Chains A and B, each alone.
Chain A
Amino acid sequence: MKENHEITMDTFLDGLWKENPVFVMLLGMCPVLAVTNTTMNAIAMGLATTFVLLSSSLLVSLLRHAIPKQVRIASYIVIIATFVTIVDYLIQAISLELYNALGAFIQLIVVNCMILGRAESYASKTRPMKAMANALGMGGGFTIALLCLGTVREVLGNGTLLGYSLFGDSFQPWVVMVLPPGGFFVLGSWLLLFAWLRQHNERRREKKLLETEAANGN
């Protein structure tokens, strides 16, 4: 099979919406739920994951002819683990507070199925530039998903956004939202919303199709 090396806008945009790793493909759920109790954590986690995704995609893509088929998964994991170790030490150097808040979840980026999935199904088959464009889109989509959850949970559960109070003292925080069950509920609600939107659009398209058919029939 000949490789298609054309980089289109879709290479990048697919990851943001149509193939959003979290909302559509349901990959890499663990960090999505675990670290999104504040917006700041969500941003940090999103950026860290994007960095690992980007650099591992580049390296996997560069080495795609050198890695033998039989040991490819193991090699990808070693590559990913290397970059995660770098990120782990970087965050520790930049902000110890953030490092403690994210805890083991920085190191757990290694087992984020989204990254391994991208390496296996995309980066190992295309040129570095295209792989990086796709990785950037996927990372962006992942970060957006984390933000969707992080903001909702922080606003409802704490009454703050990025640490600034939104509603004043009279606000009774909805504490369950920052606790584990809230993560499940908020992500479930987002999925419901997207499923509803998709169904709504489909119905409208069908209705339009029927109408045009009826018009043509007359």
Chain B
Amino acid sequence: MATESLSFIFLNALLINNFVLSLFLGLCPFLGVSGKLNTAVPMGLATSLVMLISSLCAFFINEILVAFNIEFLRLISYIAIIASAVQLVEMSMKKFSPSLFRALGIFLPLITTNCAILGLALFQTFKEYTLLQSLVYSLGAGAGFTLAILLMAGLRERLELASVPSVSQGAAMSLMLAGLLSLTFMGFAGIGG
């Protein structure tokens, strides 16, 4: 049983071990949807919501799997949970905000293959977090993902106006930017002590 305090777990997932910038999880939406701020924000929030739901479900599923001694089914059942959670978010978004639904397009169903979410479920299992700890961890991870994608979108919106060599436009420049952001986030490593 992990004994870390709740505030440390939250800060750890948010800044020190940011899912995108130090663990390299969820890079596809991070690079794909970070072109504009007004799609980046809902993407971050949708991902956070899916993270919260799937983390909660994954915790209970894991209890069941351990009870019946069938841990080898963990991966398959986690994926099934995440796919259903994404479906749920997708349906509610289609109902409440169709314009947003269209703006996110293909990236919404692709949240299923966002490794940050499966990664979160696996990490909380490996670290043997309790229910409360898992929830705080997933909140921190969601906030961290949103923070990273927001920073990236803000930077890229400004860079649209800058004149850069045509070779470095697109993916190469986004990666360099991500590298710089990641370098900055390494500065938080000291907080953990």
Chain A positions within 8 Å of B, measured between CB atoms, are 26-27, 29-31, 33-34, 74, 77-78, 81-82, 84-85, 88-89, 104, 107-108, 110-113, 116, 176, 179-185, 187-189, 191-192, 195-196, 199
Contacts and interface: CB of A to CB of B under 8 A. Distances in A.
Contact of A77 (B79, B126, B168, B173): B79
Given A104-B126, A196-B167, A110 B79 contact: yes
Given A107-B118, A184-B175, 17 more contacts: A29-B24, A30-B24, A30-B27, A31-B24, A34-B23, A81-B75, A81-B79, A89-B72, A110-B75, A111-B115, A112-B113, A113-B110, A113-B113, A181-B183, A184-B178, A188-B173, A192-B168
B172 A188 contact: yes
Interface string B66-84: 0000001001100110010
Among B80, B114, B122, B175, chain A packs the most CB atoms within 10 A around the CB of: B175
B23 A110 contact: no
Given A77-B79, A179-B186, A29 B167 contact: no
Interface of B: 21-28, 31, 72, 75-76, 79-80, 83, 110, 112-115, 118-119, 122-123, 126, 166-168, 170-173, 175-176, 178-180, 182-183, 186
Given A74-B83, A107-B122, A116-B113, A184 B182 contact: yes
14 contacts: A29-B27, A77-B79, A78-B80, A81-B79, A85-B72, A107-B122, A108-B118, A111-B115, A176-B183, A179-B186, A180-B24, A181-B186, A188-B178, A196-B167
